[in-house]
Amino acid sequence: MSHVLIIASHPIPYIAPLFREMVAQGWSFEVVYCSGEGLEAYQDQDFGEAIAWDLPLLSGYPAQILPNQSPWPGLGRFWGLCNLQLWQQVRGADVVICYTGYVYASFWIAALSAQWHRKGFIFSSDAHSLASRHGQTWKAKLKPWILPWLYGVGDSILVSTGLAVEMVAGLGIERDRIFFTPFVADNAWWLAQSAQVDIAAVRAEWGIPLDAVVIIFCAKLQPWKRPADLLAAFQTANVPNSYLLYIGNGPLRDELTSLAQGDERVRFLGFCNQTQLPAIYTAADLLCLCSDYEPFGVVVNEAMLCGCGVVVSDRVGARELVEPGKTGAIYPCGDRPALKAVLQDLLADPPRLRQMGQAARERMAQWSPRQNVAAQGEAIARVLQNR
């Protein structure tokens, strides 16, 4: 069996389940992380506080943390990850899968080594549009010229949505080089945790009646997540016996709390770690994600696995999981009156919300780590066959 080297920037809860599924499917592979950030508490600039994941991130699969030779180590900057050992690591593999984006020096060390040593090179991309996170039009204009060359670096490209398949193909990349690997959560874990939740106890802890309707916003409170859209729509919809909970922190926290001042129906729970989230999703009725830039949005997976319907803007990649009227709703990003209308329709109909939650959970049966890993296996087979 071919040996696969998987390169990732740092351990996070969303990729570890894939590696455990690879073990279950009998893969011969090793994961190397370019940084150990996330294994211990670190200062998250967006949350504005120290974060430490409360799930095991290195257990159940072969992994190691590589030395980082960067003079300015850290995430979010090109020279923040510079792992020179990757050159030799790639040499010992048959195929390389790089989850570390091309925005890091380590990606290019791995790509150049793969080319030098004639190894198959596969990398992932989470983009599904040419839009920029911060709305810079110059980036959107440059991408059609630069991305075809960047995607040409890989023998195969892994993308997380059907929308991304169309975008990459639209840039002139051959479709047989593009593999749809759905962005997934650990389905089995979320389903098991949700099944143990005492909804009445969670609602009592919140001080919210059991018969009330609860909508949640679960994301960093950043401008491109547009959390104020939901607050405005919720307050103007003014559906009786309904509550809004914000899960997460970020730079907009103070502004939002000021806007919500005096409204007892709006609560801010702050950052909640992975083991806390199943109870929150399960005890809620609806998740809303308003982003104008969101390559996917795995909180949608998590909420749906916990039997929670979802409302997303039309710029959220995870909208592929939403079947309007059945598992949730999709509205035009930034259109607060449209979002208000959605909330008035759904929050006033608790039985319908329960049906949506059940349909959402059923939808996730075909969007799991098993499908993701199988697609990665197909990408590897294609690369080896061509080489």
Give the pLDDT confidence of 344-360 residue by residue, as tens digits. 999 999 999 999 999 99
How far CA 326 is from CA of 237, 330, 339, 353, in Å, comes to 21, 11, 17, 9
Domains of the chain: 3-184+368-386 (3.40.50.2000), 187-365 (3.40.50.2000)
Residue 258 makes CB contacts below 8 A (sequence gap 6+) with: none
Give the pLDDT confidence of 104-115 residue by residue, as tens digits. 999 999 999 999
Averaged pLDDT, 117-136: 78
Q: How far apart are CA 222 and CA 256, in angstroms?
A: 11
Token duo for residue 124: 């992932």
Q: How far apart are CA 357 and CA 275, in angstroms?
A: 20
Weakest-pLDDT range from 92-101, 126-135, 168-177, 369-378: 126-135
Q: How far apart are CA 236 and CA 245, in angstroms?
A: 16
pLDDT the model gives residue 142: 77
pLDDT the model gives residue 144: 74
Q: Taking Cα atoms as reference points, which of 358, 349, 255 lies closest to residue 305?
A: 358
Quick one: pLDDT band at residue 163, thresholds 50, 70, 90? confident
Averaged pLDDT, 140-155: 83
pLDDT the model gives residue 86: 97
First to last CA, the chain: 15
Residue type, 301: N
Give the pLDDT confidence of 297-315 residue by residue, as tens digits. 999 999 999 999 999 999 9
Q: Name the average pLDDT for the chain.
A: 92
Quick one: pLDDT band at residue 216, thresholds 50, 70, 90? very high
Averaged pLDDT, 271-294: 95
Q: How far apart are CA 213 and CA 58, in angstroms?
A: 38
pLDDT the model gives residue 129: 67
Q: How far apart are CA 297 and CA 161, in angstroms?
A: 11
Residue 5 makes CB contacts below 8 A (sequence gap 6+) with: 29, 30, 32, 89, 90, 92, 93, 95, 96, 97
Whole-model pTM: value is 0.91
Q: How far apart are CA 39 and CA 91, in angstroms?
A: 27
pLDDT the model gives residue 133: 59
The answer to whether the CB of 66 falls within 8 A of the CB of 86 is yes
pLDDT the model gives residue 131: 61
Token duo for residue 164: 């991304």
Residue type, 303: A
Sheet of 309-313, strands arranged across: 266-270, 242-247, 213-218, 286-289, 309-313, 328-331
Q: How far apart are CA 242 and CA 10, in angstroms?
A: 39
Which of 163 and 387 is assigned the larger pLDDT?
A: 163
The answer to whether the CB of 220 falls within 8 A of the CB of 250 is yes
The answer to whether the CB of 356 falls within 8 A of the CB of 309 is yes
Give the pLDDT confidence of 17-75 residue by residue, as tens digits. 999 999 999 999 999 999 998 787 665 655 556 667 788 899 999 999 999 999 999 88
